[in-house]
């Protein structure tokens, strides 16, 4: 039986810097094994009960993947659909689609630009401090859709 889990998390990088947290905002709700959260976290939270507070280490390969050098490309500045100044570290989407990949400007060399399409957290081992808020059995509709319908199971699809 698959569960729907609701949890709060604080995400840190290997230096202990907080990268993201849900604490003080809405907790995250997901359907187990549906790819709604990163694989390594999903796997390690299987069977967790409400009230559990735990620290979960997720290696890069089970989080946002290892860095791939082939994802770094050199292109002409004029090929970029970006107006105005460009700086190393700038990030933008490759398309107007909200889910289009994000690329990062890794370098600027004259009229050429190095674009890195790796996820910003690729190659980074992650530590999650997790508090399980609640778990319940997934509804048939959720299993059919492949995602959770909110903490109480009566929410609408995102």
Does residue 157 belong to the site contacting Zn ion (CB under 5 A)? Answer: yes
Q: Which is nearer to Zn ion, 19 or 157 (CB)?
A: 157
Nearer to Zn ion, 65 or 153 (CB): 153
CB 13, min distance to Zn ion, A:
33
Q: Is 137 in the site for Zn ion (CB under 5 A)?
A: no
Q: How far is the CB of 107 from Zn ion (least distance, A)?
A: 42
3 state SS of 42: helix
Question: CA 62, CA 64: separation in Å to the nearest integer?
Answer: 7
Closest CA to 90 of 116, 72, 66, 56: 116
CB closer to Zn ion, 29 vs 118: 29
Q: Are 146 and 34 in contact (CB under 8 A)?
A: yes
**CB of residue 28 vs Zn ion: minimum separation in angstroms?**
16
Question: Does residue 59 contact residue 131 with C-beta atoms inside 8 Å?
Answer: no
Q: Which of 145, 150, 151, 153 binds Zn ion (CB under 5 A)?
A: 145
- Residue 18 near residue 139, CB atoms below 8 Å: no
- Residue 59 C-beta: closest distance to Zn ion, Å: 31
Is 143 a binding residue for Zn ion by CB under 5 A? The answer is no
Smaller CB separation from Zn ion, 34 or 108: 34
Residue 111 CA: distances (Å) to CA of 34, 77, 82: 43, 5, 14
User: Which residues are bridge partners to 107 per DSSP?
Assistant: 114
Q: Cα separation of 16 and 113, whole Å?
A: 32
**Contact flags string 92-131 toward Zn ion, x per CB under 5 A:** ----------------------------------------
- Residues interacting with Zn ion, by CB under 5 A? 145, 157
């Amino acid at each position: 039986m698959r569960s729907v889990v609701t949890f709060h998390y604080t995400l840190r990088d290997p230096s202990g810097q907080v990268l993201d947290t849900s604490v003080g905002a809405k907790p995250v709700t997901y359907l187990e094994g549906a790819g709604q959260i990163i694989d390594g976290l999903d796997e390690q939270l299987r069977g967790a009960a409400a009230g559990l507070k735990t620290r979960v280490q997720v290696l890069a390969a089970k989080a946002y993947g290892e860095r791939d050098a082939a994802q770094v490309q050199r292109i002409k500045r004029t090929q970029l659909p970006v107006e105005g100044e460009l700086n190393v570290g700038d990030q933008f989407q490759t398309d107007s689609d909200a889910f289009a990949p994000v690329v990062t400007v890794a370098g600027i060399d004259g009229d050429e630009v190095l674009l890195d399409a790796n996820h910003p957290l690729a190659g980074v081992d992650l530590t999650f401090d997790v508090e399980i808020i609640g778990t319940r059995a997934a509804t048939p509709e959720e299993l059919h859709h492949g995602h959770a319908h909110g903490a109480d199971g009566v929410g609408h699809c995102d």
